[in-house]
Amino acid sequence: MNTYCGSIELPYYTDYNYQLFAKMLNNLQSAYIAYSSGTRRTVQQAVSHLRRGGVIAYPTEAVFGLGCDPRNRAAVQRILRIKRRPWHKGLILIAADFAQLRPYVLPLNDAQWTQIQASWPGPVTWLLPARPSVSRLLRGRHATLAVRVTAHQPTIALCRAFGGAIVSTSANRSGRPPARTAQALRRQLSRDVDDILPGRLGDGQRPSEIRDLATGRIMRVG
């Protein structure tokens, strides 16, 4: 049954229809709350592992990454062993904002910041001058450190929950393709990590582009 308002036909709501609609809305709200709570729990679980010196796998802009607390030397060494990656190549740090990277990089001038800001937040990693206190396990043989401010929401949530930048290196053995699915990740590394954070990858098709701030050169095409 319908009511009419001029030429506009409006539905006629009985008490039953209203109750049905209210029930459906309540179910949707409950599902959203359950999903949000579940997401918060999985993020907090991952953060708990990070704070205890663990290694996690998590989705990034294009591939799954391996992460740990960059201040924990043993955890960084463990990632290098898992990947079978030579220490002198260095690693990437990923952050929710630039403030999380300030403890690791030297201050930038206005021109440098303008150049970087054009690509952040986003899937571009920059080689910035590292503070002398930064471990060589992170910067390798270089005076620079590879860092990125991400626009990928799940990674932002992870970094914010952790309270700082984390290591971000592709989840694979050196020489093998990066894992782009949870299934591929589990096949390669499930026994080597403490937790796998579920979530969707971003829209990227390849690991992030890497640019050198000092020279402007693209060191890796994204």
pLDDT tens, residue by residue, 91-137: 999 999 999 999 999 999 999 999 999 999 999 999 999 999 999 99
pLDDT given for residue 127 in this prediction = 98
CA–CA dist 130, 43 (Å, integer): 29
CA–CA dist 136, 38 (Å, integer): 37
CATH of domain 40-220: 3.90.870.10
What is the DSSP secondary-structure string of 40-94? HHHHHHHHHHHHTT--EEEE-SSSEEEE--TT-HHHHHHHHHHHT--GGG--EEE
pLDDT tens, residue by residue, 142-179: 999 999 999 999 999 999 999 999 999 999 999 899 99
CA–CA dist 33, 217 (Å, integer): 46
Please name the amino acid found at residue 46.
A
pLDDT given for residue 41 in this prediction = 77
How far is it between the farthest Cα atoms of the chain?
77
pLDDT given for residue 22 in this prediction = 46
Contact 165, 23 (CB under 8 A): no
- The SS3 assignment for 110 reads helix
Give the domain ranges of the chain. Answer: 40-220
